[in-house]
Structure 1
Amino acid sequence: MAVDFEGVELHREGKLCLVQMTLSDRPNLVYVLDVFVLHNALLMQTPRGTSMKDMLENDQVLKVWFDPRNDVDALFHQFGIQPSNIFDLQLAEVAGRRSKGLTVKYVQSLQKCLSACDRLEQHQKSFAERINLSGKELFEPSMGGAYSIFTIRPLRDQILIYAAHDSRYMQVLYESYIQNLDSEWFQRVMLGSSERANWWYGAYVRPSSDAPDF
């Protein structure tokens, strides 16, 4: 499952508002869960006893994520959830470049990764760029927006589409990256992802854009 989260300055002190999910059996369908309205949504159980908490903590279910650090910090401190078995796409992109012998100092954004993905058509990349820009204009303070837009209901169409689109192509990126990673680099990405999955532990540290060693 590919997952992504949105909120107000999202980390242990910020408010988690939206959860986006795309499952491998229906890759064209994105679920958006409004945690701001349904406060217990991550803990609610189906008739079979399954919950989002169970899925996120299940080490038999691979979670495809793009830089989980702030997300897992919010999940643990606000909901007591400790996700496991994470594959960090951001680290996979770094691994792809390093496996070619390149020196990598900084990580890439999701939008840059999508723009460089050879499995996406140009019209898909252009649409992703437009959605990314229209969303950030509403919530990025540096672009005149405010993160509080994630708490306003009903959600604006641009915010809902922006949120959903963030997880829309994560599985495409995953398939693209693992195709070019040998077993050693794959395990290194999983190890680095596991370290980021524990970002909630101890004092909060604001994520850096420096590419880590893993």
Structure 2
Amino acid sequence: MTLLQIGLVTGQIYIFDVMVERNLMYEGGLRELLESSDIVKVAHDCRGDAGALYHQFGVTLKNVFDTQAAHAVLQQQETGKPVYKVKNVSLNTLCRSYNAPVNPRKDQMKNVYRRDQRFWARRPLTEDMVVYAAYDVVALVPTVYDAMKKQLDPALMPLFEELCQEQVEAMIQPEEVKQKKKQRKIETEVAELKTKLATTQARAIVLSNREIRLLRYLELSDEEREKLEGSYKVAKKLERLQSKKESGGSGGSGGGLLSPRCDGEADADGYGGSPSLTTSMNMVEQTSPPPSLNSVPSSSALTSKADAECQTLSTGDIVITKVFFPDSPDNVKDKK
């Protein structure tokens, strides 16, 4: 961080050169302002700023209204799309949505910064730099802030506050934030799956591989199990998981079904691991060919056909089939 811009609801904008005068943060009172629990700090996607303040100055942002987080919650509120599925938006895009002034030099300055990574450390500050910095805060208060705050459903405020805190901590405690996001995603998907199982009237329910993995978090009723077993794919998974459970394998919490994925690894969503494609191929290569089921026919019986056997390995998401051709003089001759 080289500059810190602060805009007030009165329309005044202050730009502090914290690279040239570091003591602005301490003796100048900026730290007290930024760490105040009484003053709302409105920011758009504050992850980078919060991380820089913490690592460079030992300052932890408090009482943040993050407009990126507010956008995600409003999208869930209006469309039903979970917050983890909502894509981030740029500041200019957000401003256009609320008829707020956009930064007219955003694209121009982005191109300059790509060519010169030290651009914002150059001194003295040019007029273009000052104007750009000012526009980055001028629209947030009061226009965007007032509009978004008014639209937020009070029932979703706890979720919004959680997201704002995660934005602040994203580059301070990244692993903890990652785990919180994973847990929220799992809880959301499990709730959706419960609703699907409860409301589907069909005699057979077809689930995706992801939904099958989520079954380990649920206790299924006899009626739900009967519906699931109506699908051959799901029934085979349930049979395999149940056999693992009965044999004492490790599984999910709450007495739910075991994860159908292989134990020992975690995937990107934290559902339990499955081997990668490379690992799966190695597993096939390390497995000896199946025993011969038929004798190799004579060369006279082989014209355009060759005796073959196959072996299939399923990892839940990927099915690999390997075909074996018996290595016999007759087959070699025919292959030539």
Confirm or deny a common fold (TM above 0.5). Answer: yes
Q: 1:185 offset after TM fit, Å?
A: 2.2
- Structure 2 match to 1:167: 137
Q: Counterparts of 1:31 and 1:183 in 2: how far apart (Å)? A: 32
| Structure 1 unaligned blocks of 5 or more | 1-15, 46-50
CA contact (8 A) 1:20 1:32 kept: yes
Q: Counterparts of 1:105 and 1:83 in 2: how far apart (Å)? A: 24
Report the residue type matching 1:53 in the other structure: R
Q: Counterparts of 2:118 and 2:175 in 1: how far apart (Å)? A: 22
Helix, strand or coil for the counterpart of 1:147?
coil
- Structure 2 match to 1:36: 19
- Structure 2 match to 1:193: 164
Rg larger for: 2
Q: 1:200 offset after TM fit, Å?
A: 4.0
CA contact (8 A) 2:73 2:156 kept: yes
CA contact (8 A) 2:75 2:86 kept: no
- Structure 2 match to 1:114: 95
| Greater helix content | 2
Q: Counterparts of 1:70 and 1:148 in 2: how far apart (Å)? A: 17
- Structure 2 match to 1:3: none
- Structure 1 match to 2:2: 17
CA contact (8 A) 1:77 1:200 kept: no
- Structure 1 match to 2:117: 147
| Structure 2 unaligned blocks of 5 or more | 189-336
- Structure 2 match to 1:133: 107
Larger relative contact order (Cα-Cα within 8 Å, sequence gap ≥ 6): 1
- Structure 2 match to 1:82: 60
Q: 1:102 offset after TM fit, Å?
A: 4.3
CA contact (8 A) 1:90 1:108 kept: yes
Q: Counterparts of 2:72 and 2:174 in 1: how far apart (Å)? A: 26
CA contact (8 A) 1:63 1:86 kept: yes
Q: Deviations over 1:4-62 (max 9, x none)?
A: xxxxxxxxxxxx100000122x2x211100011112211124xxxxx110111111111
Count of residue pairs brought into register by the alignment: 177
Q: Deviations over 1:107-166 (max 9, x none)?
A: 111111011114x3xxx44xx2x2212221221x2xxx3231111111122121111110
Helix, strand or coil for the counterpart of 1:166?
helix
Q: Counterparts of 1:187 and 1:160 in 2: how far apart (Å)? A: 36
Give the TM-score, by structure 2 length.
0.49
Q: 1:203 offset after TM fit, Å?
A: 5.7
